[in-house]
Amino acid sequence: MMKLGRLAAIAMAAAALASCGGDDKKPTTTTVAPAPTTTAEPAVTDGSMGTTQPATTIAPSTVASFGVTAPSGPDGVSPTDGPIKSDGKADLVFRAVVSGPVSDLAVYACKADSTSDGPTIWDTFAGTRVVPPGYSYSGRPGSATWQLGVFSAGINLNAPDGGLEVMTMQASVPLDLHAADNGSLAQGAKYCLAVYRPDGTRTVTHGW
């Protein structure tokens, strides 16, 4: 969970961010690995008391917008996995407006049908965590891919290892996603954002 201090700072900056323009575009969203809007754990029956405890639900995650905002933006990340750190070079910066629970994020070069288009991917699958299906690096450890810096109101939200702690986002506070520029944008790449929920399902949004 995000620390209260970071949440308070983000909330204070939300009004300022709302007045800032961006080049993010209205997305086309595809739900991958179909899942219901709420995922319930099995109800638990207490045999001794003869009562059934209510099931737990997971709220849906939605993306209102996603796109490139700065092809040569502020430096915040490096072309590596692990702890978020700058490398002295301008970043490729995306902005996303996400609502609901988020456990991981991935920005990757994609085709119109949301499938991977080459090896480009920046994500929060850090260290020995296995990259999930749908990418050229699927099945390999997260250390094989480049880090994705997740910022809001200038505050870094990544975990110490470069991953992401489960958090619930509000649409009033957009995310700035920093990626080390690998030249793919200049080569005409199109990008998708994959938002993962705590139950492992993902929602994929086009950035054009």
Would you say residue 41 lies in a domain? no
Under the banding of pLDDT at 50, 70 and 90, the label for residue 14 is: very low
Q: By mean pLDDT, which of 25-29, 157-161, 189-193 is the weakest?
A: 25-29
Would you say residue 45 lies in a domain? no
Q: What pLDDT was estimated at residue 95?
A: 97
Would you say residue 114 lies in a domain? yes
Q: What pLDDT was estimated at residue 199?
A: 93
Would you say residue 170 lies in a domain? yes
Three-state secondary structure call for residue 140: coil
Under the banding of pLDDT at 50, 70 and 90, the label for residue 60 is: confident
Nearest C-alpha neighbor of 164 from the set 180, 176, 152, 148: 148
Under the banding of pLDDT at 50, 70 and 90, the label for residue 94 is: very high
- The pLDDT tens digits of the residues spanning 195-204 come to 999 999 999 9
What is d(CA 205, CA 117) in angstroms, rounded to the nearest whole number?
15
Range of the domain at 198: 4-35+58-206
Parallel/antiparallel/unpaired status of strands 116-123 and 146-147: parallel
Would you say residue 50 lies in a domain? no
**Partners of 56 in the beta sheet?**
none
Beta carbons within 8 Å of 134's beta carbon, 6+ residues apart? 32, 115, 116, 194, 202
Per-chain mean pLDDT for the chain:
80
Would you say residue 44 lies in a domain? no
Would you say residue 43 lies in a domain? no
Would you say residue 62 lies in a domain? yes
pTM of the shown model: 0.74
Under the banding of pLDDT at 50, 70 and 90, the label for residue 16 is: very low
Nearest C-alpha neighbor of 182 from the set 137, 145, 136: 145
Domain count for the chain: 1
> Is the pLDDT score of 10 beyond 80?
no
